[in-house]
Amino acid sequence: MNARWLRLFWRQVDVQLRIRTFDPYSLLLFFLQPAIFSGVGMVLSRAAGQAQPDLVYTVIGGGMLGMWSGLVFTSTFDITRDRRDGTLELIVASPTSLAMVEAVRTFTNVVAGLASMAAAVAAAVFLFDYPLASVDLPGALVSLGMIVFGMWSIGVFLANFPVWSRITGSYVEFLEIPVALVCGFMYPIGILPGWMQAISTAIPIRWALEALDTALLGTGGIEYYLRQWGMALALSLLFWGLAHWLGLKIHDRIRVSGEMSAI
């Protein structure tokens, strides 16, 4: 059972990574768009009279934006492409559940998005001499792991919507910037108005990202980390639960209506 599962997992990761590698749109999502947003941040810093941009938020925050944008678009594009190519019915009807296919795909997409984060950190270190000595490395790595887990849970949840209907799926893409906005990808969340901060409390990425930013600045204590990671983990599990519930609902709907290729 385990060997079969691992084989399935590996084959899908392999195919998905190839798709991401050969799709030039990945280049835009993972590297070009975050670089442009970071670029705006850098020139704004310059216009504000600062000699150097804030590396944690402006540069490394761009990597976070790349991970998130990549996830939102790839998770929806994959299903949209399946619908267009006529393979969505085959996937839904195959013995491997759609939830399983989506989970592995989304996992691969999130992990591929780490390339964006790696590029941002490399830019901060090699172009701007970001001091690595002050970084709380274990804290940063665990926080990054929590971000990956949180994004994975949201990605699987969102991937249900394009299966549900084509038009619903197209709305999912518009979550890209609002989530980056309320979670404080490119600035400390404290500068947002209270109501925007309140919205972001429901998003696991926000908690893990705050922990990551603190770890990069090297200013966090263990209690702080545990609280942030605990919230991120709990909310991620909630999203997994919601994704499972939604997946079942949509499966039922597809079976009853039989309208999958038409909607």
Partner 1 sequence: MMQTLARYVRLYLVQAWFAYRALFAWSTPFNYFVSKFGFSFFSMVLFVFMGRFVGLTDPVYIVIGNILLIPATNGVSGISMTVGNERQFGAMSYLLGSPAPRPPLFLGRALFHILDSFVTVAVALPVAILLFRLDTSETNFALVLLCVLVTSFTTSGMGFLMGSVSLVNRDGWMITSTLSLSLFILVGANFPVESLPEFLQTVSYSLPMTRGIMAARAALGGADWAAIAPLLAGEVLVGMFYVALGYGMFRVLERRSMVAGTLDNL
Q: Which is nearer to partner 1, 186 or 235 (CB)?
A: 186
- Say if residues 26 and 33 touch (Cβ distance below 8 Å): no
In the shown chain, the binding pattern of residues 5 to 24 toward partner 1, with x for contact by CB under 8 A and - for none, equals -------------------x
- Phi, psi of 188, deg, nearest 5: -65, 140
Q: Does 111 bind partner 1 (CB under 8 A)?
A: no
Q: Rounded to an integer, what distance in angstroms lies between the CA atom of residue 175 and that of residue 171?
A: 7
Choices 9-17, 26-34, 227-235, 238-246; region in contact with partner 1 by CB under 8 A: 26-34
Give the residue among 146, 144, 173 at the shortest CA–CA distance from 158. 173
Q: Which secondary-structure segment (H or E) carries 119?
A: helix 98-122
Q: Rounded to an integer, what distance in angstroms lies between the CA atom of residue 218 and that of residue 150?
A: 22
Q: From the CB of 113, what's the least distance to partner 1, in Å?
A: 17
Q: Which is nearer to partner 1, 24 or 95 (CB)?
A: 24
Q: Does 75 bind partner 1 (CB under 8 A)?
A: no
According to CB under 8 A, which one of 16, 41, 71, 107 is a site residue for partner 1? 41
Q: Does 33 bind partner 1 (CB under 8 A)?
A: yes
Q: Does 187 bind partner 1 (CB under 8 A)?
A: yes
Angle at 237 between CA 233 and CA 241, to 5 degrees: 170
Give the residue among 238, 42, 220 at the shortest CA–CA distance from 124. 42
Q: Rounded to an integer, what distance in angstroms lies between the CA atom of residue 143 and that of residue 65?
A: 16
Q: Does 27 bind partner 1 (CB under 8 A)?
A: yes
Q: From the CB of 57, what's the least distance to partner 1, in Å?
A: 7
* Subset of residues 45 to 64 that bind partner 1, contact rule: CB under 8 A: 45-50, 53-54, 57-58
Q: Position of tokens 């971000």?
A: 147
Q: From the CB of 196, what's the least distance to partner 1, in Å?
A: 9
Q: Which is nearer to partner 1, 72 or 246 (CB)?
A: 72
Q: Which residues contact 90 (CB under 8 A, 6 or more apart)?
A: none
The angle that helices 61-85 and 176-183 make with each other, rounded to 10 degrees, is 160
Count residues binding partner 1 (CB under 8 A). 37
| Torsion of the alpha carbons at 14, 15, 21 and 26, rounded to the nearest 10 | -120
Q: From the CB of 218, what's the least distance to partner 1, in Å?
A: 20
Q: Does 195 bind partner 1 (CB under 8 A)?
A: no
> DSSP label at 31?
I
* Subset of residues 115 to 174 that bind partner 1, contact rule: CB under 8 A: 167, 170-171, 174
- Contact set with partner 1 (CB under 8 A): 24-25, 27-28, 32-33, 36-37, 39-41, 43-50, 53-54, 57-58, 167, 170-171, 174, 176-178, 180-181, 186-188, 191-192
